[in-house]
Amino acid sequence: MEMTVITKDMIIVFCLLGLAIFLFVTDLLRVDLVGLLMMVLLPLTGVLSAEQAISGLSSNAVVSIIAVMIIGAGLNKTGVMNSIAGQIIKIVGRSEVRIMAVISLTVAFISSFMQNIGAAALFMPATMRISRQLNFSPGRILMPMGFCAIIGGCLTLVGSSPLIMLNDLMQGWWQNNSEAMASHPFKPYGLFTVTPIGVALLLAAVVYFALFGRKILPAGLCCLDDEGCMDRRLQEIYGDEVGRSYELAVPAFYPSQTLGELQIRPRYHITVVGIAKNDGYQKEFAPTKDSVVEAGDSLWVMSSEKNIQRLVDEQGWLVKPEHEVFADENFPDESGVVEGVVIPHSNLSQHTMEELQFRRLFQINPLAIVRGDKIIMDEINVTELQQGDTILMQGRWKQFRLLTDQMDIALIDDIRGEELKPERTRCAVFFLILALTLALVFEVKLSIALLTGALGMILTRIIPADRAYEAVDWRTVFLLSGLIPLGKAFEITGTAAYIAEKVLATIGTPSPLLLMLVISLLTSFFSLVASNVGATVLMVPLAMNMAFSIGSDPLVAALVVAVSASNTFILPTHQVNALIMRPGGYRTMDYMRAGLGMTVLYAGVLMLCLKFVFAI
């Protein structure tokens, strides 16, 4: 076989690949700008034409990602993701490890019959909601979910593009190899031939993150929407007196008293923001001094831990470890704390909260009033408001919308929660099922199928067109759009073939298992820097030739290539890794830290499967 000769274009591709990896590792440029840089440099250096360089913008993967983000936003708008998140928490509890395992296994199963990028993107909103609700970093969940979505493609022969094309590639090699045809006829792999390998890899990944996740995954809470940053700013201004929310249980022996009689706020500096009776079937938000506290009630309160402890010690109440009755209302997308400023000529000015019946009308709880350098915590309801006062308030987002519509008050922060449209749930689910049916049953191209579902949600006003554009993470779009032509250049210029030939020529005549390991690692490298499809097309004939020459099974070598094409964890170049990078708050070093161990584990488990399942 004639060896490939290195060319000027190959040298340029090597340099651009090195530049991209250097920028990824050092974070000198944002990842999306690195993608755009590759898109510009490839045609300027003459490696690709302008049309080839911008082809990533219209690729099936990029268009699919845009569409699936819009579909996810539509499902989010109807509250479907709230329900999914609630069901997962109800089934597996609040354990971070159990939630990670359930989400990862679920997404892996979905990606076994649809593209892994679609499975990960559809489940990402529910994952983000669960992370916010349970107050742990989405970075602890999204990377395991993403890795398992990639591995899920190895559960069946239709789970990923390399496995889908595997039989055709093997048959083409078989027909062109007379010695192989003479030995025995070609026998294609069945749908579940790869399943034992896929299951082993998936279980290994879940165990890997369960054991080492806290050490290798970022611990800091992501602050993409500045929600956490806002909480820190409020803490700096108002100190521990505002504190955070707790849920308290009133014991059975407790006598009925009103909040006015208990004087919880003046005595303990605690704000009661909700009272639940009859096991939560009856809830009162923003209770007034006439609201009654009875035995068996649950109270939703806000204050510092020391104030709460003093209250429960003196009253004999109990602090629940987590919110139970008010869990849904305490969810960050349902309620929160914001500041509002009394504007000039406001209808709030020269009136007290009590005169305006503020709590009863708007069901919003005033926590503090800032006037100049003074913070008023006591007697809030009877303090006459003045122009320029800042009011710190707690309530549900829908009530803040009502407040801004009827009162002259300027909220300093955006209202974070969205007005949900639960009445449109069936319509949203219909368009999701329609998109999946078009792709899976009628074999419509995935990008077109998903765009159909996304357009349906926009035309039926489940989600406005402007909100649909906002739902798209354009950083992810431009990152992938720039990396796709870089992978194309890697293949077109012969750079990938040159590396493969050099490596395989270097190892000589190895043992069958060592050859499979080399083939696996080489395929993984090509999948990282090019594309898994390109790596498979390149490596299958090379691997089958090498295996046949040493008397090993060429079909197993081809299977190793197709499975190893999913071993792409070290860099955020895979579509799924790029998708979760920004929502998870990851940097390239996070992928390298977690992905290196996963790559070694993946290759090791694959070799064990070959030895014990395929008897290599």
pLDDT digits (tens, 9 = 90+) for 29-49: 887 898 899 999 999 999 999
Asked if 580 and 145 touch (Cβ cutoff 8 Å), the reply is: yes
Q: Which of the four pLDDT bands, split at 50, 70 and 90, describes residue 225?
A: very low
Confidence check: pLDDT of 236 > 90: no
Task: Write down the residue that tokens 């990862």 correspond to.
Answer: 104
Look at residue 530 and give its three-state secondary structure: coil
Q: Could you tell me the CA-to-CA distances from 451 to 60, 237, 459 in Å, in that order?
A: 11, 46, 12
- Measure the CA–CA gap between 589 and 86, rounded to whole angstroms: 33
Q: Which of the pair, 494 or 237, is modelled with greater confidence?
A: 494
Confidence check: pLDDT of 239 > 70: no
Look at residue 192 and give its three-state secondary structure: coil
- Measure the CA–CA gap between 389 and 392, rounded to whole angstroms: 10
Name residue 272's beta-bridge partners: 301
Q: Which of the four pLDDT bands, split at 50, 70 and 90, describes residue 233?
A: low
Q: Which of the four pLDDT bands, split at 50, 70 and 90, describes residue 1?
A: very low
- Among 111-115, 200-204, 397-401, which is the least confidently predicted range? 111-115
pLDDT digits (tens, 9 = 90+) for 479-517: 778 877 887 887 788 887 788 778 777 877 788 999 999
Confidence check: pLDDT of 162 > 90: no
pLDDT digits (tens, 9 = 90+) for 398-452: 898 888 888 878 887 767 666 677 788 899 989 988 988 898 788 888 789 889 9
- Measure the CA–CA gap between 114 and 443, rounded to whole angstroms: 11
Instruction: Write down the pLDDT at residue 516.
Output: 94
Q: Could you tell me the CA-to-CA distances from 442 to 164, 278, 377, 437, 452 in Å, in that order?
A: 16, 51, 63, 7, 13
Q: Could you tell me the CA-to-CA distances from 212 to 97, 133, 466, 591 in Å, in that order?
A: 11, 23, 41, 14
- The average pLDDT across 453-460 equals 94
- As a whole-number percent, the residues of the chain with pLDDT over 90 amount to 32
In the chain the domains, ranked by start, together with CATH numbers, are 8-222+474-612 (no CATH), 227-319 (3.30.70.1450), 335-411 (3.30.70.1450), 423-464 (no CATH)
CA trace torsion 306, 309, 313, 319 (10° rounding): 180
Q: Which of the pair, 82 or 359, is modelled with greater confidence?
A: 359
Confidence check: pLDDT of 64 > 50: yes
Asked if 181 and 175 touch (Cβ cutoff 8 Å), the reply is: yes
Q: Do β-strands 335-342 and 409-411 pair in parallel, antiparallel, or remain unpaired?
A: antiparallel
pLDDT digits (tens, 9 = 90+) for 292-324: 999 999 999 988 888 999 999 999 999 998 888
Question: Mean pLDDT of all residues in the chain?
Answer: 85
- Among 73-82, 392-401, 462-471, which is the least confidently predicted range? 73-82
- Among 12-21, 287-296, 341-350, which is the least confidently predicted range? 341-350
Instruction: Write down the pLDDT at residue 235.
Output: 60
Chain-centre distance for alpha carbon 148: 12
